[in-house]
A and B are shown apart, each in its own frame.
Chain A
Amino acid sequence: DQQVKQNSPSLSVQEGRISILNCDYTNSMFDYFLWYKKYPAEGPTFLISISSIKDKNEDGRFTVFLNKSAKHLSLHIVPSQPGDSAVYFCAATRSGAGSYQLTFGKGTKLSVIP
């Protein structure tokens, strides 16, 4: 059972426009969510996170929105740049003792077209 789902394997966006990457989760125990960016043949790099006590977190061009009732989060990139072209992974975890696992989605490949 996949607890974190990224239903769009790929997304193409024109440079300067908004990129919206979506993520859904099924485990209601998850209360901390992260987005990672990954270039080919490299390890993922952390982008931005959000705790379940918030519904929005912004860092420069990146904003993550969380809708707990819908178990849905999204990453907005505005404006999109060619260097943003990469695979984006959504990840989730739950607070509390004994929780060490980040559960990742399968990723969405973003292509920003110049």
Chain B
Amino acid sequence: SQTIHQWPATLVQPVGSPLSLECTVEGTSNPNLYWYRQAAGRGLQLLFYSIGIDQISSEVPQNLSASRPQDRQFILSSKKLLLSDSGFYLCAWSINMNTEAFFGQGTRLTVV
């Protein structure tokens, strides 16, 4: 069966520090991978999606970047965090574009 792992679960980082959140998927090949953010009072906003290794699309301009160095690994990064980067970050995968997406447990990021 397929599983998705996302870590860390919580993170407190100072403003200006770098960020690296990692997500891996097991039990499937060539999944579509996604990074979402849920900010306070908002829904789930798609940040990045990837249909293959080194193929990343950004949905909104921001202080973040994503990379997919391996088929089942998706990394969310920032060189310098801003206070506004605080939120709940979710990694997800899907088999193809129009099926349901399966989410990881999320990372609660607090930038102080």
Contact = CB atoms under 8 A, between A and B. Distances in A.
Contact of B97 (A6, A43, A99): A99
B105 interface: yes
Nearest to A2: B43
Contact of B43 (A41, A42, A104): A104
A97 B46 CA distance: 18
A100 B57 contact: yes
A102 B100 CA distance: 9
A48 B35 CA distance: 21
B96 to A, nearest CB: 9
Contacts of A93: 97-98
Contacts, number: 57
B7 interface: no
Contacts of A105: 43
B43 A101 contact: no
Contacts of B90: 43-44
Interface in B20-70: 32, 34, 36, 41-46, 49, 51, 57, 59
Interface string B91-112: 0100001101111111010000
Interface of B: 6, 9, 32, 34, 36, 41-46, 49, 51, 57, 59, 88, 90, 92, 97-98, 100-106, 108
